[in-house]
Amino acid sequence: PFHYGRWVYVAGGWAWVPGRVVARPVYAPALVVFVGGRNWSLAIAGGSGVAWFPLAPEEPYVPAYRVSNTYIRNVNVTNVNVTNITVTNVNVTNINYRNRRERDGVTVVSRETFVGSRPVSQGVLVVPRDRLDRASVVGATAQIAPGRRSVLGQPAIIAVRHPPAAVTTREVVVHRQPPPPPVPFAVREQALRARPGRPLDDTTVGTLRARTPAARVKPLVRPAVPPTAEGPSPSPSPSPALRPAREGIPPRPQPRERPQSTEPLQPTEQPQPTERPARPAAPKEKKAPPAERQQPARRPAADERPRKERKAERDTTKEKTPS
């Protein structure tokens, strides 16, 4: 078991124990404890070896890097029933770890495999059990100083084109003081080898940073413009830049400037707008008088003479008639 997280030996095999489902996951490296010590060494071809075993549930993990108390609490919560966790000044060498005595619980690799960040599955070494039992617990870090490949990885063999020197060596004007540059790993590696297995503290890092040359910063100086009595002269308007003509397309002809005449200008009369004759009004149409209605013809009366005349006429008619 050389996987991230905690492990437990169950029914003749190793099982990975994840954290709580309801808890927020917290990043952590391999939760392991290293074994070794001054009186314990492995005669391996090419150098000594490195050995470790995984932590079981409810076993405290004390990281070697700087973290907060909240992080330590969250990374050690592995059981729902655990409510109060106190990991302060814990001596990890005095704990009876369960996985240390289990079958195949301790993983051993060569020093070169560990420092070179090589795959563990391809470099596991088989060590007799009695020799592993004589090893002592050394803590959460291996007593080995990391190398360049451990931190930066294996460099890829790729031909990289660098920018020209005129770009990398040009002066750059900044308005604020840049932060201090990081300490190169080549400088930190020497300090790590002096104390293998212990990370660098703030005091050591500050001392190494003071030795690192800082970037030179020149103040921004603007040249002063002397004042003139006439005032600042207007800046000439820049002439429009001509674009290069494309292949096969002739350039556009530029407009020619007309020569200015030296004769004095005579006042010219501005032409007045001519008034257009008013359009004659259309004659109004006269309305025809309404047609007179024809009166119906009056029938002549049968005889409108007075009665006396009609009577006299009848009498005359009677006289002419022969008896």
The pLDDT of residue 80: 42
13, part of any domain: yes
Mean pLDDT estimate for the chain:
71
How does DSSP assign 52-97, residue by residue?
EEEPPTT-----SS---HHHHHHHT---TT------SS--GGGS--
Report the share of the chain in percent with pLDDT over 70. 52
The pLDDT of residue 174: 75
Helices 202-211, 185-194: axis angle to 10 degrees equals 140
CA distances to 184, 206, 218, 223 from 180, rounded to whole Å, are: 12, 10, 16, 30
The whole domain housing 11 covers: 6-152+185-201
The pLDDT of residue 169: 84
The pLDDT of residue 194: 81
257, part of any domain: no
Identify the helix (H) or strand (E) that includes residue 315. helix 307-320
18, part of any domain: yes
For residue range 179-238, list pLDDT tens digits in order. 777 888 888 888 888 877 777 888 888 888 877 766 555 555 555 555 555 555 555 555
263, part of any domain: no
How does DSSP assign 223-254, residue by residue?
PPPPP-TT-PPPPPPPPPPPPPPPTTSPPPPP
Rounded to two decimals, the pTM is 0.52
The pLDDT of residue 219: 56
pLDDT at 315 over 80: no
CB count within 10 Å of CB 181 equals 11
Looking at per-residue pLDDT, the higher value among 215 and 61 belongs to 61
For residue range 241-267, list pLDDT tens digits in order. 555 555 555 566 666 666 555 555 555
pLDDT at 152 over 60: yes
Q: What is the mean pLDDT of residues 66-80?
A: 75
d(CA 102, CA 215) in angstroms, rounded, equals 55
Pair 195, 142: CB distance under 8 Å: no
- DSSP state, 222? P
pLDDT at 275 over 70: no
- DSSP state, 303? -
285, part of any domain: no
- Strands 32-36 and 107-110 come out as unpaired
Contacts of 214 (CB under 8 A, 6+ apart): 180, 181
Report the share of the chain in percent with pLDDT over 90. 0
232, part of any domain: no
The pLDDT of residue 7: 87
Region of poorest pLDDT, from 35-49, 116-130, 154-168, 307-321? 307-321
The pLDDT of residue 268: 56
d(CA 35, CA 100) in angstroms, rounded, equals 9
The pLDDT of residue 319: 55
CA 204 from chain centre, in angstroms, equals 36
How does DSSP assign 178-197, residue by residue?
PPPPPPPHHHHHHHHHHSTT
For residue range 15-38, list pLDDT tens digits in order. 888 766 666 667 777 888 888 876
For residue range 117-129, list pLDDT tens digits in order. 888 888 888 888 8
117, part of any domain: yes
Domain count, the chain: 1
272, part of any domain: no
Pair 24, 84: CB distance under 8 Å: no
